[in-house]
Amino acid sequence: MNGQESERPKRGRQPSSAQQPPEQPTGEQGSNERIKAEQADYEPEYHRPGPRRPGEARANAFNSIAWMVEGATGLVEELRHSDLGLSEDFWIHVYAMRREGLLAARAAIDSLLSKSDQESREAAEQVKREERRGDIAIE
């Protein structure tokens, strides 16, 4: 490492300058595996993750919008297949209300289309009138 060896701290409990290292018990307790592991110079072999990347750069990244759309779709499907404990008369009126709403929207669209057609016809007539007048210069 560039001619300088940096000493890595050992894993496990490290005695502070005020504390003395724990005494080694003798006999059967002397072979305590935890104590041996704390004293061992061990560095696990694993790959550290790289720098953080945005979601667009990662495969299978979490997409919150897709998650919300999926939840909303599931909720709509659940509501479509459930009567929510309401009476059949309620649902008949809901469907009739929906039909009436759609008919009202259709009437509004038809009215807007007819106004648009009339405006285009009036513009075409205006162009024809201007062509008939010709170039009359009044001095």
CB 51 within 8 A of CB 44: no
Mean pLDDT of the region 86-106: 91
Distance of CA 125 to the CA centre of its chain: 53
CB 42 within 8 A of CB 11: yes
The structural domain count of the chain equals 1
Mean pLDDT of the region 63-80: 90
pLDDT at 62 over 50: yes
Structural domain contains residue 3: no
Structural domain contains residue 74: no
pTM of the model: 0.34
What is the SS3 assignment for 45-91?
CCCCCCCCCCHHHCCCCCCHHHHHHHHHHHHHHHHHCCCCCCCHHHH
- What pLDDT is stored for residue 28 in this prediction? 55
pLDDT at 59 over 70: yes
Q: What sign does the dihedral 40-45-51-53 (CA atoms) show?
A: negative
Structural domain contains residue 34: no
Structural domain contains residue 5: no
Mean pLDDT of the region 106-123: 93
Structural domain contains residue 69: no
Share of the chain above pLDDT 70, in %: 73
Its domain, for residue 124, covers 88-134
Structural domain contains residue 61: no
- What pLDDT is stored for residue 1 in this prediction? 47
Structural domain contains residue 129: yes
Lowest mean pLDDT among 22-26, 59-63, 100-104: 22-26
Structural domain contains residue 101: yes
